[in-house]
Amino acid sequence: MKPTESTSEKSALLLIYTGGTIGMKEDPVIQALKPFNFSQILEEVPELGKFAYRIDTYTFDPLIDSSDIEPNLWLSLAGLIEEKYDEYDGFVILHGTDTMAYSASALSFMIEGLTKPVIFTGSQLPIGTPRTDGKENLISSVEIAAAKDTEGHAIVPEVCIYFDNVLMRGNRASKINSDNFRAFRSPNFPPLAEAGIHIRYNSGLIRRPAVWDARPVFHKSLDTRVSILKMHPGITPQIVRTILCGNDTRAVIIETYGAGNAPSKEWFISIVREASAIGKILLNVTQCMAGSVNMDIYATGKCLKEAGVVNGYDSTTESALGKLFHLLGQHTSSESVKTGLECDLRGEISK
């Protein structure tokens, strides 16, 4: 892990490289993309030198494809931002796209009372290739991370994902395309900013801290005993029971149909009741790309509510996972976790 520094003026930013396509190149031996040394990214983007910002870099070692991300990396990222918080005006995290929405969601819950931007970005094509989307993503992310209002406060003091001209709240975004430059969408919440000739901020939507001069609270206790049950026609009682009642989980995200519906069959509802009765926290999130859970519309949803299933509203699955890891890490009591799930902690749900 090697910090590097460049000349200082105006805003100071920390550019953190974790790995991902943006900094990968073809390994001729295995004929596949592999991460390369981060210093080469700055060589590839001399435009960054035109900003009057001080941009320091921090490279994780080893660099990883984001499919290998584990919550330990989130703890390292939160720890690094905590350690460097007073030295920088903003943070840009270069990260693989595959799990970027999970990491941005988790970080959003781990940092409470953020007063500075934490912008995740990456690319679909490596930064050294002629048609790369990485340069624009990186340059605009740097500009957004450095942007301040007339009072000197960060314009976007949130954990965000910037991709293909759109700035999204991190815990509202999902990767929706594996080969288009528009790889991310935030279907249930409008963009925080859009970049054209100018970067236009949707100021009314951007969250601001209650107080600007307090340091955020960094929550670095995560409990990962969470599983995800995706409903599908043909699912069997054995599979549902194994996931909902398994000894290794405290909570299960149930990805339901439509507005939060699941089979009305007696065996299914009775396993849900059984799981609830043994203290499992069950969170209802829709598998639809957009829209919200409402367990009062259909009988199939009402049964879940009566069995103690918690409403995930319009949460993404990525956000629900990060929120559960965070809340389970904070509370031993299931009731406290359920109370937290019902609250909009970081702008992740609309109620």
Q: Output the smallest distance, CB 175 to ligand ASP, in A.
A: 8
Question: Of 76, 54, 91, 67, whose CA–CA distance to 19 is shortest?
Answer: 67
240 membership: H or E segment, kind and range? helix 237-245
Q: Output the smallest distance, CB 123 to ligand ASP, in A.
A: 7
What number of other Cβ atoms are within 10 A of residue 148's Cβ?
A: 15
Exactly one of 71, 90, 117, 122 binds ligand ASP (CB under 6 A); that residue is 122
What is the maximum span of the chain, computed from C-alpha positions, in angstroms? 67
* Cα 5 from Cα 161, distance rounded (Å): 24
Residue 21 touching ligand ASP (CB under 6 A)? yes
Residue 274 sits at the vertex; the CA angle it makes with 273 and 280, to the nearest 5 degrees, is 90
The answer to whether 24 and 36 have CB atoms below 8 angstroms apart is yes
Q: Which residues pair with 256 in a beta bridge?
A: 286
Q: Which residues pair with 148 in a beta bridge?
A: 154
Q: Output the smallest distance, CB 19 to ligand ASP, in A.
A: 6
Q: Output the smallest distance, CB 335 to ligand ASP, in A.
A: 37
Residue 134 touching ligand ASP (CB under 6 A)? no
Cβ distance to ligand ASP smaller for residue 120 or 201: 120
Residue 180 touching ligand ASP (CB under 6 A)? no
Contacts of 24 (CB under 8 A, 6+ apart): 33, 34, 35, 36, 126
Using Cβ positions, the residue closest to ligand ASP within the complex turns out to be 96
Which member of 18, 21, 97, 316 is catalytic?
21
Residue 137 touching ligand ASP (CB under 6 A)? no
Cβ distance to ligand ASP smaller for residue 97 or 108: 97
Give exposure, 307-323, as e/b (b: 16+ Cβ within 10 Å).
bbbbbbbbbbbbbbbbb
What number of other Cβ atoms are within 10 A of residue 50's Cβ?
A: 8
Residue 66 touching ligand ASP (CB under 6 A)? yes
Cβ distance to ligand ASP smaller for residue 186 or 286: 186
Give the three-class secondary structure for 315: coil
- From residue 73 to residue 112, the character string flagging contacts with ligand ASP as x (rule: CB under 6 A) and all else as - is -----------------------xxx--------------
The answer to whether 91 and 79 have CB atoms below 8 angstroms apart is no
| Count of residues touching ligand ASP (by CB under 6 A) | 11
Residue 340 touching ligand ASP (CB under 6 A)? no
57 is catalytic: no
Cβ distance to ligand ASP smaller for residue 124 or 286: 124
Give the three-class secondary structure for 185: strand
Residue 65 touching ligand ASP (CB under 6 A)? yes
Exactly one of 8, 67, 177, 332 binds ligand ASP (CB under 6 A); that residue is 67
> Which residue ranges make up the site for ligand ASP (CB under 6 A)?
19-21, 65-67, 96-98, 122, 124
Catalytic residues: 21
